Amino acid sequence: MKKGKKLLAVITTLALLISTGCAQSKSPTAPAGEKNYPTKPVEMTVGFAAGGGADLVTRITAEASKKHLPNGQSIVVSNKTGGSGSIQLAEIFQSKADGYKLGSVTTGNIIMQPVLGKAPYKATDFEPIALLNSAPNLLVVRSDAPFKTFEEFLDYAKKNPDKFTYGTSGVGDTKHVAMEALNLQYGIKTKQVSFDGSAQSLTALLGGHIMAAVVMVQEAKPHTDSGKIKVLANLGSSKTDVYKDAPYLKDKGYAGFDTWTGIVAPKGTPKEIINILADAFKKSLQESQVIADFKKAGTEPSYAGPEEFKKIIEASYKSAEDVVKKAGLVK
C-alpha cells in the first residue's frame, strides 16, 4: 500500500510540473488571438465619397498591404459618407477594439468636427496607426471662369459679397476652415456649399453649379491635366512642385491649411495589433509602385508611425482650435 501511495504521489507531482510548464510556455503579453492576427480580412472605412483624395490614397495603400499582412489576409475598403466624415468615424469609435475595424481619417473628421463640437468623439478617442500622406489645399475654378488670377478673384469677391460659391467635402472640414480664414485675411464674404466628398464638389464645379472648389493636390490634378480647371491659389502650409507657380498665400501672412490622411483603430486596440498594421502600412508606402501611384495622383507618401502620428493629431487639433475660434465658427 505504501508503495502504491508513493507511486501515486510521484505521478501527481509529475503531472503538475508538466501542466505548469505548459502554462508558463505561453507568453502573457501575446494572447493567442493577438499573436495570430489577422485571421480574417480587416475592414477599413472611408468617411468620404469614392474618388476623393482620402479614398484614393487609402485604397492604394490597402491594396499594397496585402503582401505585408500576416497569414495572407487583406484589407477591404468601403465608404460610409455623411456628417463631413463624422458618421464613419463615430462608427469606428463604437467598434470592438480587436483590429478588424479600422478608419481612414483626415483633418476634417478627426480634427475639425470635434473642434466644432459636431462629433460624439474627441480626437484622442482613437489609437493612431499611421499617417499616409499630407497635401496642401488648393482653391480651383473652371478654366473659363471670369477671373483669371487670384487678384481678379479678390476684386470680384469684394464687389459681390456672398455671391462667390465654393464646394468642400463638408461643413467644418479643413477646406471650409481654410476659406473662412481667407475671408478674414482679405475682408471678403464667400458662400460654402457642402458635398459628401471632393469628387462631388468637382463635378458640381465642372457642371457650373458652383464657382469654385477647395480640394487637395491629388484631387485637382486629373482636371488641371485635362485643362478643365485651374488653380487660383495654394491655401496650404507648404508649397507643392505640381503647382509651384500657384500663388502661395502663406508668404502673405495667411495661416495655411493642409489635409492629411491617416489610419486609426478603436481606443484600446492592443499595441501588438497596432504595430503589425503600422509595419504593413510602412512597407506598403515604401513600394516603388505605390510611390508611383501616389505621384500619378499628384501627391506622395508621408509615413508616420503610431507615436509620431499621435503627436501630429495633437498639434493639428491645437492649431485648428485656435483658427476656428478666430474665424468665429465656434464661441
For residue 53, the model assigns a pLDDT of 83
pLDDT beneath 70: ranges in the chain: 1-35
- HSE-CB for 248 with a 13 A CA cutoff: 13
Cα distances (Å, whole numbers) of residue 93 to 90, 96, 119, 122, 264: 5, 9, 11, 9, 10
User: Can you give the length of the chain in residues?
Assistant: 331
Alpha-carbon gap, residue 245 to 50, rounded angstroms: 29
pTM to 2 decimal places: 0.75
Cα distances (Å, whole numbers) of residue 55 to 60, 123, 133, 217, 278: 9, 20, 12, 14, 19
Domains, the chain, in order of start with CATH, read: 37-134+259-326 (3.40.190.150), 136-252 (3.40.190.10)
For residue 34, the model assigns a pLDDT of 56
Alpha-carbon gap, residue 181 to 309, rounded angstroms: 25
Find the largest Cα–Cα distance for the chain: 110
